[in-house]
Amino acid sequence: MSALVVGLSHKGTPLGTLERVALAGDALDKLLHDIARADDVAGAFVLSTCNRVEIYAEVDKFHGAVAAVCELLSRHSHVPPAELTPCLYVHYQDRAVQHLLAVACGLDSMVVGESQILGQLRQALRLARERGTLGRTLSDLGSLALRAGKRAQSETSVGAAGANLVSVGLQVAARQLAGNGLVGGDSVSPATPPPALAGKRVLVIGAGAMSGLAVASLARAAVSRLTVASRTRQRAQRLAASAGGHAVDMADVVAEMATADLVVTCTGASGHVITADMVEKASHQRAAATGLALLDLAMPRDVEPAVATLPGVTVTDLQTLAADGHPAFEPGERGISEVRRIIAEELAAHTSATRAATVTPTVVALRAKAAKVVDAELARLAGRLDRLDAATMDEVAKSMRRVTDKLLHDPTVRVKELAGGPGATSYDDALRVLFDLDPAAVQAVAQADAQLAGWPPATGQQDREER
């Protein structure tokens, strides 16, 4: 099976299109189910974050699988193919693996080097495993990507910077709040809370992972009042208590906005959480003519676009952060080079192991044939020399097997080493031809290996239906 990725991201997709394609809950479950059952596809997982939607699949054939994935993504997101196709990128086999590693290491993120992607990738893999759509190939690649991402965070300057979208968003929102928005060439320090937030009143809407990061950063920034609102009051209370803040119900959001300087929102809602009407009502209740800043980190957006047109209100969203005039944190060329080295190492090790694994069934079949020949010769010898005692026959058998093992040891070890490099298929074919191995016997070994590892066969329509 080969790896395929079909996706779209902040780099080449309008935010409006990206948020329409972003699926969650039952919609994501249905997409996973249909892709895993498609022709030429044996399994899949979907990585959906605030700035990307990517479908990773195990496929038998390239063109058929690409067509099926694109059609299903368009159908489930209700984005017409003519609008969706120009935004899509496609990677296959080694290039797909390299892309996944780059994503896991944060090199393809809006904020280069951010660490949140590891948790998002882990969650995507877990969901696919729970839904029965994660096959052996993608599970192995997921583990590889998580390992590479952890190395990038722990072994390079990218990890030391601790960059994430929340910290950069707070930096930009703080500048907007101070009335001097970022301009081209400005830089931000994601490891340090923005001093402009000290003494401000902040409302955080949502109680998920990104909201938790925002609350922690705001607590370090010494804001004067921190309020958390969520559809689940208990989660809001727990998050607020972790930073000395207090929780409110979603019904109280307008009243809280009336006294807030900054609103940070990141929920999983499918519609707008903050509308222009809500902000206008809050503005009428404000005691002072101070401005209100909103930081929208949700995908799809929590804040209705019309809010940005209201007087005294500034909105910073993912589109704002992606704009050229608001550059995100960059770890520097040295940090990026360090991460690229890790990606190259992990990719080379994976490629070598994959190539070596292709010859293993042939080696096993060869040893099985040799053992069968030895057994046949021992049986013939026992029939001709029936006066030999059992102890003598046992010694003869051991000697014949030792000779066979020694003759096969060097060739089988060497062929596995050679198979780790280019030309693995030719070495596999050479073994089968030289020793006249039955292709069916080799295939039987491969299927047995898969079953012992706990994975169903990856071929046949019935297999796909059982997944």
DSSP letters for 139-194: HHHHHHHHHHHHHHHHHSHHHHHT--HHHHHHHHHHHHHTT----TT----TTS--
Per residue in 176-198, pLDDT tens? 777 644 333 344 454 556 777 88
Highest-confidence range of 69-78, 192-201, 407-416, by mean pLDDT?
A: 69-78
Summarize the confidence of residues 349-377 as an average pLDDT.
79
CATH 3.40.50.720 fits 165-322, yes or no: yes
In the block, which residue shows the tokens 């990128």? 89
173, 271, 451 from 310: Cα distances, Å? 17, 20, 62
d(CA 6, CA 183): 34
Give the pLDDT confidence of 74-118 residue by residue, as tens digits. Answer: 999 999 999 999 999 999 998 999 999 999 998 888 777 788 899
- For residues 154-181, give the mean pLDDT: 74
**3-state SS class at 47:** strand
Is 50 designated active site? yes
Please tell me the total number of residues recorded for the chain in this structure. Answer: 467
> Torsion over CA of 412, 413, 418 and 424, rounded to 10 degrees?
40
Residue type, 363: V
**How confident is the model over 24-35, as pLDDT tens digits?**
889 999 999 999
- DSSP secondary structure letter of residue 130: H
For residue 336, the model assigns a pLDDT of 83
Do 130 and 174 meet the contact criterion of CB atoms below 8 Å apart? no
The answer, yes or no, to whether residue 447 has pLDDT greater than 70, is no
Per-residue pLDDT of 310-343, as tens digits, reads 998 999 888 877 764 444 445 567 778 889 999 9
Q: What pLDDT, on a 0 to 100 scale, did the predictor assign at position 416?
A: 67
Which listed residue (50, 87, 105, 266) is catalytic?
A: 50
Q: Any idea which of 251-260, 363-372, 451-460 has the lowest mean pLDDT?
A: 451-460
Query: pLDDT tens, 118-161?
Result: 999 999 999 999 999 998 889 999 999 999 999 998 888 776 55
Mean pLDDT in the chain? 82
Amino acid 341: pLDDT: 92
Region 271-281: what's the mean pLDDT? 93
DSSP-based three-state secondary structure for 54: strand
Provide the β-strand partners of residue 56.
5, 45
| Across 262-290, average pLDDT | 87
Burial 161-189 (b: 16+ CB within 10 A, else e): bbbbbbbbbbbbbbbbbeeebbeeeeebe
Q: Which CATH class is domain 2-161?
A: alpha beta
Sign (positive/negative) of CA torsion 379, 381, 386, 387? negative
Determine the Cα–Cα distance for residues 20 and 33; give it in Å rounded to an integer.
19
Give the global pTM.
0.68
Q: What is the DSSP letter of 196?
A: G
Determine the 3-state secondary structure of 37 from DSSP.
coil
Q: Is the pLDDT of residue 422 over 80?
A: no
**Per-residue pLDDT tens digits for 378-403:** 888 888 887 778 888 888 889 988 89
Look-up: residue for tokens 């965070």?
A: 153
